Structure 1
């Protein structure tokens, strides 16, 4: 039975000529063929549970602004409230026509008094989600465990100085992996929101690195034991709330994986906002992951350029999105991953339909960016320029240097003998930027 939360809204149509107040896609036609496959298959959209159905609209300077009927302050029965939340969530997913969704365990189940009650509540809601997936055809892009909100995790989860917290977190991840596996999830994500430090005066970095490495190895071992075919993903984040985290950016994650023998087992889920906090661009992080062979999935959002923290806003910058999808297409596109909107309404956007308008706008921006990126790939102007710029490295002598077939003395002798005196060649950055702007 429909909840009526979104009024009479059903499936949102594709209508390029829609008026400003109409809920319709202007650019995202899921069946449009781009580079040989539908846009829906390229983008693999997912909607997250936490920002849309859990977040109360607070910020560091003010509390709840949203009034949802399933919130705890209005719920006499937490489990019934969680089921209502699931009903509304699937109504929203269906209206948007997205193929996937994502959740933390704490998003979908009430918090219990202990681990056993948490697990019981989680399994009861997974029963509900399993039925709803069968009814709607929706799938789970990834599941994850919330190992950062509860006060037990104030000093980290895997990196906590208390081994009982480590064990509680490990047990929680097991239940969440079981739920993800049961729901046919395409991936399982780990985000270490509290895996960092506030001061080195009470922190043993070497010990914490070892703990986190053992924790992740336990996850990988369990994945293989239960036959989970999805990818294990780490989501890099550089700061906020802690000063340093062991997954600061893609390159840091790769170093961590290599250190613990996991570079062939784990990939990354890259968020735009986290990339910016790390001092990088979104496309830099995607390109780095692709170059290192660990690209998995993305969280699509943006930060407020006037704020120095992770504001999780819906994307609205088509050129930026196009550059990101250009790197994804160059890497071969998504396999198990997709485009998850890890974005939330502004706390003044109170109406239920604001949730729909936000996602429709974000999906249109992504569609425009993906189509621009595909056109850039198809015409190959930039790729041809880059190939030509590095063409000298395809020559026999250059290949010998890279292969370790020339010593430093031999290279120096060749430079002196041939009177090598290279003239600088323009990198043509402004021209390249102009090329991108022609497509967006």
Structure 2
């Protein structure tokens, strides 16, 4: 039993007028929105890595956090870390958590020892989950931190690294399956290149495609019913990432025939780094039929890099959950907080307060998004904008037997002189602001 969060009570919903910094003001898990509760819509998850592994370092300074389980380089310290993690999960009453293999166990001297330690921690998790702990939203493998991955994981020029990765992912998938995880995520942290001077693009993409195909094959072999998710990320840490954004990943999936097997885990911060908005990436995934799950956070818009801060904008959250709801909501996915404290926020209470604030922002966004959809506030003007395409003549232009010269002849015969119609963007922004 961890004492790290001692004297911090379980967080409860107290309503919008509460001034208690450790109580929910907007996240009411039992509130009904349509045919689901707020908790069922949001499916919150807490990540292991930022909360229990990160030491508070940045590119210009070292560790600022002092946790009793650091450096977690023994199994006893790994178990102490798990005790603290599950105590935090209990305080927040989140239904899910997420982890990388490297987060939960110290690396062994051999590959076999690392796998053994991961399975020992899975035993420990199983007992805690059976005793009322949260479920596993997804597991994944850290194939980017160790120096062996400096030239990539599945895209590495060394075939032994490819084999090492295959063994690592198999082990992590086995544990995720064993713990009834609802998804398995692949984040290609170093799947890209720094310079073309030493890179064979064709070879690396073929390796990556074959690796992903084998992951999907193994999913079916072991009977894993969850989704395989890819998390797009541009630029960082590799200058040219192969998984730049949703559209790029979709093209990759189509090339290898995996578009019906793999979905997206989309992070707000990564969307910004790609030059997009979060809602753009969500809408793109929805449109392409590959929406799966989200990592909720935000970037500092002045810094230009992935700062992984907790969300604090109700309007951004509203537009994001609008797309989630329009996609039919989460199936196996959920809202994972891939967010971390600022390195000056040293206290155990800061970890709790940060998540409470993030959960409240998401709840406000979800409520606003649900009301916008329920009132048809955005969809009605959207339908009106494209209404001209509903008549038979317009539809005929898109038919398989339509030809460019045939459409041209008709346009000339009708002496068309179409006039622009306002897109009314400001009115639509006002509508969103009214609901937020």
**Which string of whole-angstrom CA distances, capped at 9 and with x for unpartnered residues, describes residues 193-239 of structure 1?**
10111111000000000000000001000000000000000000011
Displacement of 1:16? 1.8
Give 1:289's match in structure 2, choosing from 272, 285, 290. Answer: 285
Among 98, 103, 106, which residue is 1:107 paired with?
A: 103
Q: Report the Cα offset of residue 20 of structure 1.
A: 3.9
- Cα deviation for residue 393 of structure 1 reads 1.1
The normalised TM-score by structure 2 is 0.99
State whether residues 18 and 24 of structure 1, in contact with CA within 8 Å, keep that contact through their aligned partners in structure 2.
no
Deviation at 1:36, TM superposition (A): 2.1
Partner of 2:300: 304
2:431 equivalent to 1:432? no
Report the secondary structure of 1:161's partner residue.
coil
**Is 2:263 the counterpart of 1:267?**
yes
Matches within 5 A, 1:346-357: 346-357=342-353
Residues 1:116 and 2:127 are matched in the alignment:
no
Q: Secondary structure at the match of 2:413?
A: helix
Q: Are 1:315 and 1:365, in contact at CA under 8 Å, matched by a contact in 2?
A: yes
Q: CA deviation at 1:314?
A: 0.1
Deviations 1:349-380 (A, max 9, x none): 00011000000000000000000000000000
Deviations 1:133-188 (A, max 9, x none): 11014100000000000010000000000000000011000000000000000000
Point out where structure 2 has 5 or more consecutive residues left out of the alignment. Answer: none
Aligned length: 436
The corresponding residue for 1:248 is 244
Q: Secondary structure at the match of 1:136?
A: coil
- Asked whether 1:54 is paired with 2:53, we answer yes
Q: Quick one: distance in 2 between partners of 1:341 and 1:217?
A: 28
**Hey, what does 2:220 align to over in structure 1?**
224
Equivalences for residues 130-169 of structure 1 within 5 A: 130-169=126-165
Question: 1:402 deviation in Å?
Answer: 1.2
Q: Cα offset for 1:18?
A: 6.3
Residue in structure 2 matched with residue 402 of structure 1 by the alignment: 398
Which deviates more, 198-207 or 6-15?
6-15
Contact 2:293/2:333 (8 A) holds in 1: yes
Retained in 2: the 8 A contact 1:156–1:194?
Answer: yes
Distance (Å, rounded) in 2 between the aligned partners of 1:245 and 1:419: 49
1:182 to 173, 178, 183: 178
Q: Of 292, 312, 315, which residue of structure 2 is paired with 1:319?
A: 315
| 3-state SS of paired residue (2:293) | strand
CA distance in 2, matches of 1:136, 1:321: 30
CA distance in 1, matches of 2:113, 2:307: 33
**Counterpart position of 1:364:** 360
**Matching residue of 1:70:** 69
* 2:78 pairs with 1:82: yes
Q: What's 2:90 paired with?
A: 94
The Cα of 1:17 is off from its aligned counterpart by 5.8
Change (3 A) 1:258 1:371: same
Task: After TM superposition, give the deviation of residue 19 of structure 1 in Å.
Answer: 5.2
Structure 1: runs of 5 or more not aligned: none
**Matching residue within 271, 277, 287 for 2:273:** 277
Contact 2:18/2:25 (<8 A) preserved? no
Q: Kindly state the Cα deviation for residue 394 of structure 1 after the two structures are TM-superposed.
A: 1.3
Measure how far apart 1:300 and its partner are. 0.1
